[in-house]
Chains A and B, each alone.
Chain A
Amino acid sequence: MDKTYFWIVCLGLGAVTFSMRASFIFLLEYIGIPEKLKPVLAMIPAAVFPALIGPAVVFHQGSVEFLLGKERLVVCIFSTLLCYKVRSVFVTLIFGMSMLFILLYVA
């Protein structure tokens, strides 16, 4: 791997990420948070995270036959429902991983 290439990515991504984190913290007193921007900001996690989850679970070839190898997708669906109810990262994680293990090793 080209070292220069790696460090360009590393420092570039680091700078961009830090800028985003620091943006309003440093600039709030100068620009405020435009009203029209607020609903858009709230949409960002919903725009980004499912794009990460999607391919990871839809295309994953698993081993549970009666679910056509898509046990991760199934676990995600149930985990989503649970998360709506409990709103806890910890509980959702435990539930999801447990359900996956059960499907893989017991079913």
Chain B
Amino acid sequence: MKINSKLKLFSLFFALAFFSSCGPKYPQRLMSSYGDSNDSPWTTYKGNELRTSFSSERIRPPLGLVWRFETSAPITASPCIRGGLVYFGNLAKRLYILDAKSGRKITDLGLKGSVSSSCALKGNLLFAATERGGDQLVTINLKNGDTVWRQLARDVSTSPLVFDDKVAVGTGDGYLLVFASSRGELVWRFKTAGGIITSPAKGGEKIFCGSEDRHLYALDAESGELRWEFKAGGSVTAGPTVSDSLVFFGSTDSCLYALTVAGGRQLWRLKTGGEVFSSPAVVGGMLFFGSNDRKLYAVEVESGEVLWSFETGSLIQAPPLVTEDLVLCPSFDFHLYLLDRQTGQLLWKYRTGGMLKASAVIYDRRIYMASSDGHLYCLAPKSSR
């Protein structure tokens, strides 16, 4: 081979190596250095498939800002956190992975559409859904950043529900789609007459999903067969949340409903002063949810009796997060409120730069709060910072 040919070959190789090194690389090695150091990961919307929004972690105010990560667009969904890494998306079609302790960005991935809902984690897989323009449920291998599979799911603003070996998502054109989580083939689907804008929940053998057609549906988790349906006075815009034998959801008729899981019989209905978009949190016989009347309600699960209420400065549409002794309530007035779970007394509050549309997450004694000002906030007790 002549020297100039060798030179050409070398140049070609160099060019290929150079251009392939341009652009963001997935930090495989760095990702693999993170492990399950915490035994209470938050791997899905509201913590579990029942959507109870309960955290067993203990945290006491006052808190202070540890770090704040800026993105370029509002964040409207709570993050998932596991193994020291924080996972969340924003409306600028980006999916971020951060170091939970320092807030340093590990990587970010571009998706085809806005991410307005929480993602879900299972094993090495991350499930994320995108709104109109992206219209996808995409599964990403966290080891190498590759897309494992993607499926058409129109205009999704709901968080994926991972259960057994499946993943379910509600779509803006009214479908509940269930895919095999590993390979993505469609297992079953159910059509409602309106868009699905609340994340499905699973309780027992049933999957619950609400629709803008004013119905809450209970479907067989395996087959998708309709078990029962319940008609509310307005679009189903909050929940469902399952606790023991009851399923709860909120509606634009300003009511929170409690139905039996078995047959969908209404146990009680609580009318508030505004539409209910805030998916309830349930623990220890108490249920907590917010309303467009600016109030957070604490309700007895069995009777629907209001135990206390707390008024914020604006709408409450994010689900509250409950711990053993606290309720964390995000409000449209830019504040995160920490209240005593039993009395509703205000213990502490923190102001962000935008409306809070997502619930807080507690991980490793820190609070992670996404705001529509485009920031993810990490707060920790002042004593521990």
Q: Do A and B come from one complex?
A: no
